[in-house]
Amino acid sequence: MWLKPEEVLLKNALKLWVTQKSSGYFILQRRRGHGDGGGRFTGRLVGALDAVLDSNARVAPFRILLQVPGSQVYSAIACGATAEEINQHWEWLEQNLLHTLSVFDNKEDIVSFVKGKVKALIAEETSSKLAEQEEDPEKFREALVKFESRFNFPEAEKLITYYSCCCWKGKVPRQGWLYLSINHLCFYSFFLGKELKLVIPWVEVQKLERTSNVFMTDTVRVTTPNKERDFSTFLNITEAFRVMEQLADVTLRRLLDNEIFELDPGLQDPTQITKRDLEARAQNEFFRAFFRLPRKEKLHEVVDCSLWTPFSRCHTAGRMYTSDSYICFASKENGCCNVIIPLREVISIEKMEDTSLLPNPIIVSIRSKTAFQFIELKDRDTLVENLLQRLKEVNSSNPVHYHFDSALQNSPAFGSTCMLGDSEPVHLGTEASQGKERSECRKDSSYLLNAEALRSDFHQSGIVGLDFGKSREQIKESLWDDHFVEYGRTVCMFRTEKIRKLVAMGIPESLRGKLWLLFSDAVTDLASHPGYYVHLVEASMGKCCMATEEIERDLHRSLPEHPAFQSETGIAALRRVLTAYAHRNPRIGYCQSMNILTSVLLLYAKEEEAFWLLVAVCERMLPDYFNHRVIGAQVDQSVFEELIKEQLPELAEHMKDLTALASISLSWFLTLFLSIMPLESAVNVVDCFFYDGIKAIFQLGLAILEANAVDLCNSKDDGQALMILSRFLEHVKNEESPLPPIGNHHAFFSDDQEPSPVTEIANLIHDSYEKFGDHSVAQIEHMRYKHRIRVLQSHEDTTKQNVLRVVIPDVSILPEDLEELYDLFKREHLIRCYWETTSPVNERHDPSRPYAEQYRIDAQQFANLYRLVSPWTCGEHTDVLAQRTFRLLDENMDRLIEFKGLASCLDVMYNGEMNEKIKLLYKLHIPPALTENERDSQSPLKNPLLSTSRPLVIGKSNGDAVDYQKQLKQMLKDLAKEKDTKTEKELPKMSQVCALENEYCCSVFPGPLSTRLL
């Protein structure tokens, strides 16, 4: 490897290096002790010093120095791991430079010329590599050479970064280097002649955490199924752990969770991933989670600045985040002020005159006749130029479409162009419908979309005792009106602690649907896609699939106690929304609990608005929740368990196993408490969810457990704990609601128990914010990273156990051997996924399939396994036999086989009776195992009946091959018949049959195979 020329002192170097070749200008040296059998102690001492100091000589024990006659300064220009490599560089120097250098008279010219040539060679080498993308390309290039020589991975195994650290072996640390690649965590140490290599695939990591104890402070612990490894003494442990966490998450989700997970565009090709890409991914995910933006949004700039906040009459310090379609602001003081500005709402972005009071200001004007002033922006000109370019792209790709209703425009609450107003019912297949009525969903007629929320048509009035609730609603509406005047009434409003308090009190019924659209930013999707929902309904209605069957099954289970869903109008609207979403996102399709959530959305929003709210929840606010494995919900369930230990230590100490409590909480996350609370109370929870995201559900769950902590500690079993929580949640009331109480069909209750005291939902939400509202989005996302690893590995363990449970009854292989075989099968699958980019992973791994069919391997992978585990190996013919066996097992001819097929085949080879082995051998010599091309071959293996190398039948001529084939078939039938009848009568001429079997095996597979069979 060519090196960036670096000066060395030859006087001191002579103690560690031995000169092997020299010329007028160059010296080739070997590291002392390397390859020298007599210098064992010297080699160990020098090797230990190299490992501790990370000397290049440990990996590259050869080097070439540039020497100028008469000068005491030497420069290292090349190094090599082997003598062959360094000799290639030496020969190049002799052929291309040695004669040229004799022309120069000036020593400085010689040095400059050689250094320039070497730098050009380095630039040529790295031009096609990713090393130049790193912060320090030269050091990374050296580390890459060490990584490749030490671990001998294929070229596709991309090194991401490396760190100096210690790996603890018991209480003894081993100083070395930690290499983090796209698929593996590797550690290398060499000390006093002892070499340590450690390779841990990311897919085997079950837990990744930072720990501390008496001996080790601030340690990274990596847990695998077999062992725990501790790494410490990092120069920057925070950075190292963050990269390890990112790599584990990306690799595990890419290989084990490809059902729903999609990598960012920059991470699609694993061989092109860099440390910078991982850091950008982490920033993107935090940005999208914090502001709850679509997954497609890519963060471009993060700039420190200050924003003029008119409600406080000062500039608030914070950060501006810019992406493809948004400008966002978050104050440095958590919760002080956040702003989300969709670029489609922006009219202009202008630079103002720079003054001492307003340094580097810009003005962002939006359509609601509001302007935002940002100051103290670094690189203002570049930032404005980039924003204007994106604004132009947004306006050209998504022209603004607005439909207003005069009543809404004049509304004191919503006067924004950002908010869609009421509109006429849209008739599918026509321009627009002029009628106000809704038609029922009929097969022989077109469909009409609901232009009003179902609540407006199905509210119950005239009930005594609701005057107080109505007056409370009027007070809330007045408070919200005042807030809109001061903080804004559009999606671009200032989001402060004051609005959070208003949300915690409960949003007024008249504003609930509109504010849900604003808080989730579903209003932007709605305005950006006119006619999209209508098109989906037209395309999806009337089509039958598994999703539509499940939807039809659950339609009448969706809030059956509410009158809106006791009529065909509500049922038809629910059917259209769920079917349209399943058509939009077939990877999710339809999942249970989506019907309950959509029912509530339809009560407070128009049909099309409810659809976009569902999109926001499923694709942004609750990612990975809605699939057949509900990975996202299980991850948050595990996060919730950790929060219980952290926030409620007394409860966690009393209930040693928190799995039951975490399991109870699964329905809380999936349905946002809608299935276990009275509806009039649960909608207040949904209010908080749309404003604060999943954080609101976590803190409310903790508040519920704290309120029942005493009873839970006194509970005798999990069933009693479940009843305690169910009774409590059933009696969470909303006394301020103007609607009559609606019974909860889904809640559990017992008639023989005294009713629990009534708990006011507003008080419960207030307590949740006061006591448990201090967790930030960054903390929750970090916990999600940690627990996602555990959840995915838990699913893999479940898959493994279920596969073994299915296969064990059908084979005679010992369970422990079968488990090892499954591990080999899965490892072979993963090895191909590591480095093969031509075929997608999900072609061979599909988590949505039955357990026994999730992992599959192709012919090449099967051949590798066959050579490792099959007892029927026959030298150069092993590959041919493996190919035939694969074709025999590939019954559906999709060129992939499952684990059950492999296990059944090996069971016959190892444990099958003689007639079963003979049958298998026979099948390997007829179609489909034998192809037409192989029939034309004259190889003894490929066509044993044409073999003339040894007699086919003892005592018969070679011309009786046809008779032998008939005789063999008859023999197999006799053996099968004997096995079926289970008689003990001896077969006639047993010795002749054995001779035939022996002669057949020897003629087909000469060598040790016949001995194994017999």
- pLDDT per position as a tens digit, 95-106: 778 777 777 777
Question: What's the pLDDT score for residue 514?
Answer: 94
Question: Which CA distances in Å does 452 have to 329, 570, 606?
Answer: 34, 11, 5
Measured distance CA(311)–CA(242) in Å, rounded = 38
β-partners of residue 159 are: 181
Q: In the block, which residue shows the tokens 């935090």? A: 286
Question: Which CA distances in Å does 342 have to 129, 301, 337, 387, 619?
Answer: 38, 15, 17, 12, 18
CA-based nearest residue to 574, from 620, 610, 616, 615 = 610
Q: How does 372-405 read in b/e, with b if 16+ C-beta sit within 10 Å? A: bbbbbbeebeebbeebeebbeebeeebeeeeeee
The stretches of 261-349 forming alpha helices (DSSP H) are 275-291
Question: Which CA distances in Å does 47 have to 52, 160, 508?
Answer: 9, 26, 74
Residue 757 phi, psi dihedral angles, 5° rounding: -60, 145
Q: In the block, which residue shows the tokens 């047993």? A: 990
- 542 burial (CB, 10 Å; 0-12 / 13-18 / 19+) is exposed
- pLDDT per position as a tens digit, 472-511: 888 999 999 999 999 999 999 999 999 999 999 999 999 9
* Helix H or strand E segment including 748: none
Q: Is-contact 433 426, C-beta < 8 A? A: yes
Question: Which CA distances in Å does 951 have to 313, 944, 946, 962, 966?
Answer: 104, 11, 11, 14, 16
Give me the residues of the chain with pLDDT under 50, please. 37-39, 56-58, 127-133, 401-446, 461-465, 745-750, 942-962, 964, 983-997, 1000-1014
Q: Is-contact 706 761, C-beta < 8 A? A: no
Q: Is-contact 58 46, C-beta < 8 A? A: no
HEC sequence for 90-147: HHHHHHHCHHHHCCCCCHHHHHHHHHHHHHHHHHHHHCCCCHHHCCCHHHHHHHHHHH
Q: In the block, which residue shows the tokens 């599918």? A: 428
Question: What's the pLDDT score for residue 1009?
Answer: 42
For the chain, give the number of residues: 1014
Question: What's the pLDDT score for residue 757?
Answer: 84
Question: In this structure, which amino acid lies at residue 957?
Answer: S
* Helix H or strand E segment including 898: strand 897-898
* Helix H or strand E segment including 524: helix 522-528
Measured distance CA(181)–CA(158) in Å, rounded = 6
DSSP class per residue in 963-984? HHHHHHHHHHHHHHHHHHHT--
Measured distance CA(202)–CA(155) in Å, rounded = 18
CA-based nearest residue to 676, from 757, 749, 750, 600 = 749
Question: Which CA distances in Å does 567 have to 78, 574, 696, 740, 862?
Answer: 82, 11, 33, 19, 57
Question: What's the pLDDT score for residue 414?
Answer: 44
Question: In this structure, which amino acid lies at residue 145?
Answer: V
Rg (CA), the chain: 36
531 token code pair: 């006619």
Q: Are strands 228-232 and 159-169 parallel, antiparallel or unpaired?
A: antiparallel
| Ordered structural domains, the chain, with CATH | 2-128 (no CATH), 137-272 (2.30.29.30), 292-397 (2.30.29.30), 406-621 (1.10.8.270), 631-775 (1.10.472.80), 942-1014 (no CATH)
Residue 527 phi, psi dihedral angles, 5° rounding: -75, -25
Cis bond upstream, residue 412 (ω within 30): no
Measured distance CA(876)–CA(1004) in Å, rounded = 13
The stretches of 708-808 forming alpha helices (DSSP H) are 709-714, 718-730, 761-772, 777-807
Alpha carbon 487 to chain centroid distance?
Answer: 38
- pLDDT per position as a tens digit, 404-446: 333 333 343 444 434 433 333 444 443 333 333 333 333 333 4
Q: Which residues have a Cβ under 8 Å from the Cβ of 434 and sit 6 or more positions away? A: 424
Q: Is-contact 964 939, C-beta < 8 A? A: no
